[in-house]
């Protein structure tokens, strides 16, 4: 049996020869790359690895392995292309949807069904290899799935890298906001992960004393625990926004799970405050194009930040203020937190807040909510 490392070396030499003959460039169809490995039969333990795949020019790190000469990736990888990815329990299948096409790949099977809205019919198709369930998820053939969804896949031999062009029109790519209007000296204070009985009241007291309105990205489970604090946030004029129910990493969830996390939080906020909030921030700032797209279709605007105070790590007030002074700008969005499981970690946040407000006001900044920053009202 040929060792996998030897096969990689042979592949590199093979692509160098092809690239030398390819006078128009070094990018060749990925099918050549995949077929090269048809003679390799190493075990999963030897072949599972991680590498970046370029999606519309952006690197996406993913696990992968070669199976019967075909590049296999976790089904959830396809959320990075803007697709929806779900699991059908009844049929034990991965369902990937994009560009008016649905592909259903059945666990442990070497066939798939696909549907296009244009034809209105489901068609059974043979797969070049088997859809494979592993402990970290179900792996599906990258080339087959991407092509069925109308994407272009190529391999660059010089860079040893796979490229996917999703063919998504610019107007259809979802928007994530890092800043607001940069022409006016407005800035937004935002607080994540609360409400919490320790830090949220202290922060609200300071904001009330200073006459500042902020934006609170709340967790649904915290709203359920602290409904009165949630009402206080709204009653004192702050914008309440959505930060999921339980603070998961969205790229690790199916599309339905993402929607459930966000919609359950919206419902809990509405039950407690009477407000339907459609401003959203992904936990850890981690998301895929598919997450933002589906939430946009549900009416949400996704908000990140331009100033990360790193307050969650237990920084002192002086360290937090130094970061804000360094990174502040008109239209800026400042990330802070009002809940931390470790007591004392956010003491710096509370101590820095009144000084931050005074200092930025002294420089001519006006404090507004994220909604005001984006909409100007």
Instruction: Give the CA distances from residue 123 to residues 97, 111, 317, in Å, rounded to whole numbers and listed in that order.
Output: 15, 11, 61
Question: Which of 172, 190, 223 marks a domain boundary?
Answer: 172
State how far the Cα of 240 lies from the Cα of 217, in Å rounded to an integer.
6
- Give yes or no: residues 232 and 367 share one domain: yes
- Give yes or no: residues 365 and 229 share one domain: yes
Per residue in 165-177, pLDDT tens?
999 999 888 899 9
State how far the Cα of 310 lies from the Cα of 315, in Å rounded to an integer.
7
- Give yes or no: residues 134 and 211 share one domain: no
Using the Cα atoms of residue 278, residue 281, residue 282 and residue 287 in order, give the sign of their dihedral. positive
Q: What is the CATH number of the domain that holds 317?
A: 3.20.20.370
Per residue in 81-120, pLDDT tens?
999 999 999 999 999 999 899 999 999 999 999 999 888 9
- Give yes or no: residues 45 and 190 share one domain: no
State how far the Cα of 79 lies from the Cα of 164, in Å rounded to an integer.
13
- Give yes or no: residues 77 and 207 share one domain: no
- pTM metric for this prediction: 0.87
Per residue in 206-242, pLDDT tens?
999 999 999 999 999 999 999 999 999 999 999 999 9
pLDDT category at 31 given cuts 50, 70, 90 is very low
Q: Please pick, among 70, 337, 338, 347, the residue that the annotation labels catalytic.
A: 337
- Give yes or no: residues 183 and 275 share one domain: yes
For 40-73, b where at least 16 C-beta lie within 10 A, e where not — what string? bebeeeebeeeeebbbbeeebebbbbbbbbbbbb
Strand partners, 52: 61
User: Are the beta carbons of 206 and 354 closer than 8 angstroms?
Assistant: yes
Q: What is the CATH number of the domain that holds 35?
A: 3.30.457.10
Per residue in 40-84, pLDDT tens?
333 444 478 999 999 999 999 999 999 999 999 999 999 999 999
Among residues of the chain, what percentage have pLDDT more than 90? 83
List of residues 6+ apart from 4 with CB closer than 8 A: 40, 42, 46, 47
Q: Please pick, among 70, 192, 311, 347, the residue that the annotation labels catalytic.
A: 192
User: Are the beta carbons of 324 and 307 closer than 8 angstroms?
Assistant: yes
Q: Backbone dihedral region of 271: left (phi > 0), alpha (psi from -120 to 50 degrees) or beta?
A: alpha
Q: For tokens 């042979």, what's the residue?
A: 10
Residue 204 scores a pLDDT above 90: yes
State how far the Cα of 53 lies from the Cα of 203, in Å rounded to an integer.
43
Give pLDDT, residue 377.
67
Question: Which of 172, 192, 215 marks a domain boundary?
Answer: 172
Told to judge if 192 belongs to the known catalytic residues of this protein, a careful annotator would answer yes
Task: Residue 85: name the closest of 260, 282, 252, 243 by CA.
Answer: 252
Question: Which of 145, 172, 199 marks a domain boundary?
Answer: 172
Q: How many domains does the chain have?
A: 2
- Give yes or no: residues 206 and 59 share one domain: no
List of residues 6+ apart from 367 with CB closer than 8 A: 186, 187, 188, 189, 212, 213, 214, 357, 360, 361
Q: What range defines the domain where residue 103 resides?
A: 4-172
- Give yes or no: residues 263 and 160 share one domain: no
- Give yes or no: residues 232 and 145 share one domain: no
Helical segments of the chain, H only: 4-21, 30-35, 44-47, 142-148, 199-210, 220-225, 227-235, 255-273, 289-297, 317-327, 347-362, 370-375
- Give yes or no: residues 83 and 103 share one domain: yes
Per residue in 248-286, pLDDT tens?
999 999 999 999 999 999 999 999 999 999 999 999 999
């Amino acid at each position: 049996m040929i060792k996998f490392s030897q096969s990689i070396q042979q592949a590199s030499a093979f692509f160098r020869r092809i690239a030398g003959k390819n006078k128009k460039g070094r990018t060749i169809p990925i099918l050549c790359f995949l077929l090269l490995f048809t003679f390799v039969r190493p075990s999963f333990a030897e072949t599972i690895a991680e590498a970046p795949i370029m999606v519309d020019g952006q690197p996406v790190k993913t696990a992968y392995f070669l199976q019967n000469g075909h590049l296999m990736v976790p089904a959830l990888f396809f959320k990075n292309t803007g697709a929806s990815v779900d699991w059908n329990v009844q049929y034990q299948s991965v369902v990937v949807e994009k560009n008016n096409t649905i592909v259903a790949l059945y666990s442990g099977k070497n066939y798939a069904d696909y549907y296009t809205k244009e034809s209105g019919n489901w068609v059974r198709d043979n797969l070049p290899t088997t859809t494979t369930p592993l402990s970290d998820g179900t792996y599906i053939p990258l080339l087959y799935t991407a092509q069925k969804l109308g994407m272009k896949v190529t391999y660059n031999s010089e860079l040893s890298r796979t490229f996917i062009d999703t063919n998504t029109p610019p107007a259809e790519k979802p928007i994530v906001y890092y800043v607001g209007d940069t022409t006016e000296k407005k800035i937004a204070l935002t607080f994540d992960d609360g409400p919490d009985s320790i830090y949220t009241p202290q922060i609200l007291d300071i904001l009330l004393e200073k006459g500042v309105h902020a934006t609170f990205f709340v967790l649904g489970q915290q709203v359920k625990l602290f409904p009165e604090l949630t009402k206080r946030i709204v009653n004192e004029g702050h914008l309440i926004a959505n930060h999921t129910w339980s603070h998961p990493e969205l790229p690790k969830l199916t599309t339905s799970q993402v929607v459930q996390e966000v919609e359950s939080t919206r419902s809990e906020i509405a039950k407690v405050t009477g407000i339907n909030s459609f401003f959203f921030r992904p936990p850890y700032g981690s998301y895929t194009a598919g997450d933002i797209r589906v939430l946009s279709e549900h009416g949400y605007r996704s908000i990140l930040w331009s100033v990360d105070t790193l307050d969650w790590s237990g920084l002192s007030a002086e360290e937090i203020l130094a970061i804000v002074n360094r990174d502040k700008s008109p239209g800026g969005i400042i990330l802070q937190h009002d809940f931390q499981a470790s007591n004392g970690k956010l003491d710096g946040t509370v101590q820095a807040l009144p000084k931050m407000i005074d200092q930025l006001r002294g420089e001519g900044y006006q404090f507004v909510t994220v909604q005001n920053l984006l909409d100007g009202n």
